[in-house]
Amino acid sequence: MAESHDEISGHDCRRPAPVQTFNHRSSKWVRLNVGGTYFLTTRQTLCRDPKSFLFRLCQSEPDLDSDKDESGAYLIDRDPMYFGPVLNYLRHGKLVLNKNLTEEGALEEAEFYNITSLIKLIKEKISEKEAKTTHSPVKHVYRVLQCQEEELTQMVSTMSDGWKFEQLVSIGSSYNYGSEDQAEFLCVVSKELHNQSYSSNSQPSEKAKILQERGSRI
């Protein structure tokens, strides 16, 4: 319950802070100036991870040579947007990112501050996200096109928009046109069908319509 006071001071933090004269080393509260934004939290919160940069910063005889601003706040040249989630993780043990922040960006900050448990957590989240993307099944749509030998070149030239040639099957000269036999072929083509292809608003391109029309001949 005592840590319910550990909150960022909102937009007012961006205004110059008044000079304070209390002893930062002996005080329960610690003031940080991260990239121009002020954060006020407890020494206990910053000392959650004994191997972290923030733990070393709060020691009575720190081994870090950290500058302070005119108000006595420790100066840290990092992104304040990401420091908020890092500080909240130290408060309650959960990583909560706004929609405009990325896990990769949070990982950069966690590694800078050397918060080992947070580094492990973010890497697990990134791995899970990548696994879902990698193992998502790829669906294909297939079309069988019927064409004469003289039409093959034209048909292949229209195969764009992701269509790939799969197989060409000769069906001989079963179709007679006038007094001459015409060689006929069945051409199998395929295309990867991504999730966005299921959108009700998606419309086939002109070249895809050509393939559909030709496929309807059989």
Residue 187 CA to residue 146 CA, distance in Å, equals 6
Phi, psi of 107 (to 5 degrees): -65, -40
Decide if 6 is inside a domain.
no
Decide if 64 is inside a domain.
yes
Residue 101 CA to residue 86 CA, distance in Å, equals 12
Residue 201 CA to residue 112 CA, distance in Å, equals 45
Decide if 45 is inside a domain.
yes
Residue 107 CA to residue 86 CA, distance in Å, equals 10
Give the pairing type, strands 184-193 and 139-148.
Answer: antiparallel
Residue 150 CA to residue 58 CA, distance in Å, equals 81
Q: What is the pLDDT of residue 134?
A: 67
Decide if 10 is inside a domain.
no
118 and 51, same structural domain? yes
Task: Give the model confidence (pLDDT) of 159-213 as tens digits.
Answer: 767 788 788 888 776 555 555 666 788 888 888 876 554 444 445 556 555 545 5
Task: Give the model confidence (pLDDT) of 114-152 as tens digits.
Answer: 999 999 999 999 998 888 776 666 777 888 888 777 777
CB 143 within 8 A of CB 164: no
118 and 47, same structural domain? yes
CATH number of domain containing 153: 3.30.70.2000
- Tell me the mean pLDDT in the region 84-95: 95
Q: Residue 83 in 3-state DSSP? A: helix
Any idea of the CA torsion for 189, 195, 201, 205, to the nearest 10 degrees? Answer: -30
Decide if 68 is inside a domain.
yes
- What six digits make up the tokens of 115? 């918060």
Decide if 44 is inside a domain.
yes
128 and 37, same structural domain? yes
Q: What is the pLDDT of residue 188?
A: 84
Q: What is the pLDDT of residue 209?
A: 57
Decide if 12 is inside a domain.
no
Q: What is the pLDDT of residue 14?
A: 47
Which sign, positive or negative, has the C-alpha torsion 89, 92, 98, 103?
A: positive
Q: For the chain, what is the mean pLDDT? A: 77
Q: Looking at the whole model, is its pTM more than 0.85? A: no
126 and 145, same structural domain? no
Given 133, 156, 180, the domain boundary residue is: 133
147 and 128, same structural domain? no
Q: What is the pLDDT of residue 194?
A: 64
CATH number of domain containing 89: 3.30.710.10
Of residues 63 and 24, which shows the higher confidence score? 63
Q: What is the pLDDT of residue 213?
A: 59
Structural domain boundaries enclosing 74: 29-133
27: pLDDT confidence band, cut at 50, 70 and 90? Answer: confident
